[in-house]
Structure 1
């Protein structure tokens, strides 16, 4: 079995249909691994789902096993759901909810509302995204990753609200990406969590993909395998009342679901987080807001803050978290 990374090969793509011809460097690769690395936009679990549903063929024969070993010259076709194309009215509605709170010639910062995806994800084809909004209004002058994620240098979960940086051009993208890589962008989040949290603390559990439920992340005191990566979150308690706390969290690293899984790991899950806790009648989403960003762009210090949105502010009033 060839375990090395497969170099991208020529791919034909039209209306959700992808086609490849396997080259020599990919011989003996697993089918699901090959497709995942060729597209770079679909997760391996999504590809496996497409295979199980009969949406993948090899040499014009449908296959239902993800572990098929490929040969040179094999022709692979995968049919995925046709991507949703938002209407102008859809994007105008999104535009009314998205605020640009800071602007520079190379980037700008938005206040993203909860409920909006940053970019398209496999299996979700009927929602306007931040990328749709950017492209429709011509707010970025370039695209990376085959036009999939123009301007995007970091992400917020769909149901996380708050501040997000968008690059306007290739220079801004490269500079900001380096700042994120070097951990020179300070981020603060506000969360409403279950239980009375300590006055302050740090959480350094490793974070990796949950081995049973692939949509979840898992936290561990030890590194379970090579997929678990170091993660560090500092936090302090802003207010507590009746077994509910308002917490300010500052992630040093940027792992998927980091704040959500770290706080859950120490016994303080976010209210409304149905992935890591339970549903809450007061919340239609998890109680997390990206409240502050600070960094230096060349010699210019950028500090931006965002007040709690109405739903979280109302929750603070209800729980008397002043």
Structure 2
């Protein structure tokens, strides 16, 4: 049955009255795997999720208003494919549409969006990372969240880093000769950490794609700010695509620099990905607080169809200094000791609908 018709029947209260000029679509991804991880002298076998993509379910719609003007909405909720838990259960109140909840208007002027969404900088990093920041190979293993509890350099609670609530965002139109970008800000609404601004600019022409972005959040007003910047460049040679990227995060005397390089190449009826990532985290005010990590990952995803994939990933993370970083999704039982290693592999299936 046509997904749009199913979504209209199930979510009619969201869709309103459908017509030839409007559509509503139910969509989603389910990604589950069998995973083996090792660290801290222990090993663990388990059923995991999000090896290649984040499992999720959502509904999106668009209405053609005429004259090139369109209204749209987008609702997206994460699902733990191995347990069935949906949304973000760590916040109070919990967020069901934790990935995205936006309404927007687009036309020749570009697009305006309001709601909850990723930041422009996080979009840049997702695009540059061969693993899309998820799975055993994702850069979020050694960066992004690494300024938090994994390194001991705890980031301020509630600060907008990857996504933000109460976001206003503008996207440039697509007819600027290869130039693209978006600019966003989050309204604090009485919570300083929710107040931020950022943006991204890029240039894409044929096989070349360059992008740079930055964002800054108020931790307190007045007071210190939490900043993040990223840059990436890629070139598609046809037989393979080469990408390099860098990420810098700062908060008071704490600083993290991360960079990565990856190659993606079609092989048979699938894609091979190989990526190396390094991060260096330190606290200038506390010289003993030093964390460095190297992550090497490789995967192969085989297309069973346009919507289904089989995949396998293998990764190893080497900590230096006081680092105790572990691979994405690792259980606390296999957390490495300071300066130790974290390794693992998985085999799984992804289905998109």
Report the TM-score when normalising by structure 1. Answer: 0.28
Report the TM-score when normalising by structure 2. Answer: 0.27
Higher relative contact order (CA 8 A, sep 6+): 2
Whose helix proportion is higher, 1 or 2? 1
